Chains A and B, each alone.
Chain A
Amino acid sequence: MGVSIQVKNLNAWFGKKQALFDITMTAAANHCTALIGPSGCGKSTFVRCINRMHETIPDAKATGSVKIGEVDAYNGTSAPQLRRRVGMVFQKPNPFPTMSVYDNVAAGLKLNRFRSNAKQMDEIVERSLKNAALWDEVKDDLKKKSGASLSGGQQQRLCIARALAVEPEVVLMDEPCSALDPISTGKIEDLIFQLKQNYTILIVTHNMQQAARVAEYTGFFLLGKLIEFEKTTKIFTTPSDKRTEDYITGRFG
Chain B
Amino acid sequence: MADPAPNMPDIRIDMTSAGRQLAPSLERRPSPLAQVTDSRWPDQLFRYAMWACAISVLVILALIVYELVLNSRLSWNAFGLSFFSGQDWDPVQDHYGALPFIYGTLVSSLLALVIAVPLAVGTAIFLTEMCPVWLRSPLSFFTELLAAIPSVIYGLWAIFILVPILRNYIQPGLAKWLGWTGLFEGPPFGIGMLAAGVILAIMILPVISSITREVMRVVPSHQREGVLALGATRWEMIRVGVLRNARTGIVGGIILGLGRALGETMAVTMVIGNRPEIAKSLFAPGYSMASVIANEFSEATGDLYLSALVEIGLALFFVTIIVNALARLLVWSVTKGQPARGNV
Contact = CB atoms under 8 A, between A and B. Distances in A.
Interface of A: 51, 53, 56, 58, 80-84, 87-88, 90, 92-99, 107-108, 111-112, 146, 148, 155, 159, 162-163, 166
Contacts of B342: 94, 97, 148
B31 interface: no
Contact of A53 (B229, B233, B236, B341): B229
Given A58-B133, A107-B240, A98 B230 contact: no
B232 A87 contact: no
Contacts of B232: 80, 83, 111
B244 interface: yes
A98 B338 contact: yes
Given A97-B343, A146-B338, A148-B342, A112 B228 contact: no
B176 interface: no
Contacts of A53: 225, 228-229
A56 B225 contact: yes
A173 to B, nearest CB: 12
A162 B343 CA distance: 17
Contact of B231 (A80, A92, A96, A159): A80
A81 B233 CA distance: 9
A165 to B, nearest CB: 9
Interface of B: 133, 220, 222-223, 225-233, 236, 240-241, 244-245, 247, 335, 337-339, 341-343
Contact of A97 (B133, B227, B228, B339): B339
Contacts of B245: 96-98
Nearest to B338: A146
B127 to A, nearest CB: 15
Contacts of B227: 96, 107, 111
Contacts of A98: 244-245, 247, 335, 338
Contact of A83 (B223, B230, B244, B338): B230
B240 A148 contact: no
Contact of B230 (A107, A148, A155): A107
Contacts of B230: 83-84, 107-108, 111-112, 162-163, 166
Closest 6 CB pairs of A and B: A84-B231, A108-B230, A88-B229, A94-B222, A83-B231, A94-B226
Contact of A87 (B222, B228, B229, B236): B229
Given A90-B226, A107-B230, 17 more contacts: A51-B229, A53-B228, A56-B228, A83-B228, A83-B229, A87-B229, A95-B226, A96-B227, A97-B338, A97-B341, A98-B245, A98-B247, A98-B335, A111-B232, A148-B338, A159-B226, A163-B230
A159 B222 CA distance: 12
A80 B236 CA distance: 11
Nearest to B224: A56
A44 to B, nearest CB: 11
B252 to A, nearest CB: 15
A150 B24 CA distance: 48
13 contacts: A53-B225, A53-B228, A58-B133, A81-B231, A83-B230, A92-B222, A93-B343, A96-B244, A97-B341, A111-B227, A111-B230, A162-B230, A163-B230
A155 B343 contact: yes
B120 to A, nearest CB: 21
A97 B220 CA distance: 11
B222 A108 contact: no
A111 to B, nearest CB: 5
Contacts of A96: 223, 226-227, 240-241, 244-245
